[in-house]
Chain A
């Protein structure tokens, strides 16, 4: 066996035994790349040195978690998804007196603010509550502040328009120096908190769950576990929105979701009319 693969096993064990984080069912290739990246970031030389610091150095695990959950997101990412949410999903959600939305793996929060804008423009935000979770506290902190680099704003503005935005994206932020700060009114119905999809359980009854580009880091077992968790959290007829390239065909739990737009990975929780298992 490759020495580095042994070191990764020990890393996973140290994270689990010493700190309670379970990475056993992460997809090995991407986990390995991220651990190698951590070695470079912390100038550790080897994964074993990383492991030593993980076991002995107070607070180091926080920095490791920051490095393992590289938060990547943007406003209105994949605009057709947001247009479909607006046209097909929000009209259904409008029939509920209150609307619970869970954004799982919210990273730096760009999608949370995108959702808030979407709901605001649909006239639904005042009866909505967005639960935005991540297992990376540093990312949650950034998300709650809602301050981002100005250089991204132009792309985001284009996404917003393509996603069916009804105003000007710049109506939703103030710009200063090299940063934009999202309108804090958008935060009024958002709760940010730590939740780990691997180890934590259901905490709300949701009408819509978004979890985009998170399951791609999990192996089939953990993907299935997470989809079952989502199914348990959703009301019957609730919606699930995944990343546009995510593949749930290998997951038994996927049978309890029906396609709304299979290409855009938008599904609806149902006991009837399940998705056929293709494999």
Chain B
């Protein structure tokens, strides 16, 4: 199988700690766009971007409306807006109603990323205390994408990965420490 072309990550409660372990293990040669939706509850996502940039060998930026999803860059959904991937792999934002109490919503990101990248997409659903992302993960699999769910037993909060497994299933159920390696394998030809 040819290498996958994009990565979408979703996490909620416990997400910052999980990302601080995951991101350093991503290969600096990864040259696919990486898009992240992490519920922070904060009005300003810049702190999260800063914290993640410190531990990541890949650049971390706030996803800019209308900008292309650049390869080798980690794009973080802004606070208060849904982040969508348009069919031309550029970003758009919306202030539509919250989905499963969340805006940005992982479901919205995953569903639109699945439309944009089809079977090129790898989606990762990690720790979280709600069910956001589960339906999005299902859309990813239906489009031929590859779904990784963090092993609920290794998650700080297991509700989100369990919901993902129940509603969408997964191509891989991995403990946190093995997720980055799988992403490297899938996306580096």
A-side interface residues toward B, CB under 8 Å? 2, 27-30, 32-34, 37, 70, 72, 213, 216-217, 220, 223, 243, 245-247, 249-250
Contacts and interface: CB of A to CB of B under 8 A. Distances in A.
A34 B96 contact: yes
Residue with the greatest number of chain A CB neighbours at <10 A, chosen from B94, B108, B116: B94
Nearest to B66: A247
Interface string B70-111: 000000001001101111000011111100000000001001
A72 B81 CA distance: 11
B65 interface: yes
Interface in B138-167: none
A249 B66 CA distance: 9
A220 B84 CA distance: 15
Interface residues of B, number: 22
Interface of B: 64-67, 78, 81-82, 84-87, 92-97, 108, 111-112, 115-116
A220 B86 CA distance: 12
B87 A216 contact: no
A28 B84 CA distance: 10
Contacts of B65: 216, 245-247
A245 B78 contact: yes
A216 B64 contact: no
B115 A245 contact: no
B66 A33 contact: no
Given A27-B86, A245-B78, A245-B81, A33 B96 contact: yes
Given A29-B112, A33-B111, A245-B65, A70 B92 contact: no
15 contacts: A27-B86, A28-B86, A29-B86, A29-B92, A30-B82, A33-B94, A33-B96, A34-B96, A70-B96, A72-B95, A216-B92, A217-B92, A246-B93, A247-B64, A249-B66
